């Protein structure tokens, strides 16, 4: 099996910033509540008419440039998203067209906030067994399109953005281990009930706000902590390492209190945890993707460092990945 690594990263965040102060004018909430309960100060919101593929393409172009790879050399595009432009075709196909990446096989992955980690795992398997040479993996979301702006328990949490990575064969290091898990018995904890084949769109589904995110946050909190800690421990063991060997952790950015609880469970120094939740909120699959990109650009990840990606989301799904840079 070939060694596979990340050879370029990129991101794109929409221009518009929605602060906690802005939200105070929209629902019964406060900057103090949002900051202390979640760690979020502001989030980005896509412009009217901007779709997920638009964000994905911009992040992809940045990643291709960073990798020094031309679009026609990409032979696999995987987009992790739960907010595609439309039900079909896939966002990956729309990205392919916009990039003129005519040689790529394209599909989307629905694994919510763990989507970017799932997509890295799938792409690395394509490359490891020789089915692809250069893969473009993107986590892109416009969660503002499925956010109920009248529901204070969810609308303060989410944001929009996209992050991308180019995966190729590497001579040394690369992805040392991956670990994925799912539990469909908890599907009810976090979902958008309408708009699919179970509950197609009708006047009634629109009026009853069933096209928006419904979340049982309190119940999810514990599940998130346990699943992320379990996934991190499992993947580190699989890589033949100890948690202390990790130089930087890129966790999913749902809540700073979840991340702290995971770090405590694993005995990890909080200085080794990368956070961008304060600026962007929870962007589902785009959270780990943008955090990885920013950590590289800020010099927090250097050659030879061991990086842990650790994510959890609706499904329920969780996934972790150890990469030697
Ligand atoms: N502003 C002010 N008060 C709010 C509020 C807001 N935006 N949202 C909820 N509240 C209130 C609630 O009504 C409740 O009031 P009550 O005690 O009078 O009933 C109180 O705050 C506590 O609500 P609760 O839901 O228990 O808060 P919490 O501490 O659990 O925090 C979340 C809520 C959503 C931030 C937290 O549960 C969470 O992060 N959950 C996990 C999210 C997650 O992992 N998602 C999956 C991956 S994407």
Catalytic status, residue 113 = yes
Catalytic status, residue 282 = yes
The alpha carbon of 154 and the centre of ligand 1 are apart by a number of angstroms equal to 8
Q: What is the pLDDT of residues 99-117, one digit of tens each?
A: 999 999 999 999 999 999 9
**How far is 304 from 246, CA to CA, in rounded Å?**
11
Phi, psi torsion values for 16, nearest 5 degrees: -70, 130
Which residue's CA lies nearest to atom 31 of ligand 1?
A: 37
- Top-level class of domain 4-172: alpha beta
Both structure tokens of 254: 């749902």
The pocket around ligand 1, CB under 6 angstroms, is made up of 29, 33-34, 37-38, 113, 152-153, 156, 190, 217-218, 220-221, 224, 254-255, 258, 282, 312-313
Among 134, 252, 276, 293, the active-site one is 252
**Options 3.40.47.10, 3.40.190.10, 1.20.58.220, 3.20.140.10; which CATH number does 176-324 get?**
3.40.47.10
Q: What is the pLDDT of residues 10-20, one digit of tens each?
A: 999 999 999 99
Q: What is the pLDDT of residues 222-231, one digit of tens each?
A: 999 999 999 9
**How far is 175 from 177, CA to CA, in rounded Å?**
6
Supply the Cα-derived Rg of the chain in whole angstroms: 19
Q: What is the pLDDT of residues 144-200, one digit of tens each?
A: 999 999 999 999 999 999 999 999 999 999 999 999 999 999 999 999 999 999 999
Q: Which residues contact 44 (CB under 8 A, 6 or more apart)?
A: 13, 14, 15, 16, 17, 18, 159, 160, 161, 280
Please compute the mean of the pLDDT values over residues 266-286 and round it to a whole number: 96
Instruction: Evaluate whether 254 touches 282 at the Cβ level (below 8 Å).
Output: yes
The alpha carbon of 158 and the centre of ligand 1 are apart by a number of angstroms equal to 13
**How far is 20 from 137, CA to CA, in rounded Å?**
31
Q: Which atom of ligand 1 is nearest to the CA of 224?
A: 44
Equal fold, 4-172 vs 176-324: yes
Domain ranges of the chain: 4-172, 176-324
């Amino acid at each position: 099996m070939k060694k596979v690594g990340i050879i370029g990263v990129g991101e794109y965040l929409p221009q518009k910033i929605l602060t906690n102060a802005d939200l105070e004018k929209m629902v019964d909430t406060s900057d103090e509540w949002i900051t202390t309960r979640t760690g979020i100060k502001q989030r980005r919101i896509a412009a009217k008419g901007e779709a997920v593929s638009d964000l994905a393409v911009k992040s992809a172009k940045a990643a291709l440039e960073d990798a020094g790879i031309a679009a026609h050399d990409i032979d696999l595009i995987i987009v992790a998203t739960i907010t595609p432009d439309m039900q079909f075709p896939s966002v990956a196909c729309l990205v392919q067209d916009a990039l003129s990446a005519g040689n790529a096989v394209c599909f989307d992955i629905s694994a919510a906030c763990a989507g970017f980690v799932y997509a890295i795992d799938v792409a690395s398997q394509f490359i490891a067994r020789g089915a692809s040479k250069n893969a473009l993996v993107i986590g892109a979301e416009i969660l503002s399109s499925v956010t109920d702006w009248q529901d204070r328990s969810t609308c303060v949490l989410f944001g929009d953005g996209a992050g991308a990575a180019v995966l190729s064969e590497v001579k040394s290091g690369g992805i040392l281990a991956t670990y994925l898990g799912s539990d469909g018995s908890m599907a009810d904890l976090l979902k958008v009930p309408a708009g699919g084949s179970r509950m197609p769109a009708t006047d009634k589904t629109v009026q009853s706000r069933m096209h928006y995110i419904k979340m049982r946050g309190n119940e999810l909190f514990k599940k998130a902590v346990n699943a992320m800690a379990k996934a991190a421990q499992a993947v580190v063991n699989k890589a033949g390492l100890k948690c202390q060997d990790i130089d930087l952790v890129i966790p999913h950015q749902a809540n700073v209190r979840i991340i702290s609880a995971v770090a405590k469970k694993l005995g990890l120094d909080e200085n080794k945890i990368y956070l961008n939740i304060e600026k962007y909120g929870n962007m589902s699959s785009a959270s780990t993707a943008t955090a990885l990109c920013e950590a590289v650009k800020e010099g927090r990840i250097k050659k030879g460092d061991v990086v842990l990606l650790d994510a959890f989301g609706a499904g329920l799904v969780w996934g972790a990945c150890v990469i030697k840079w």
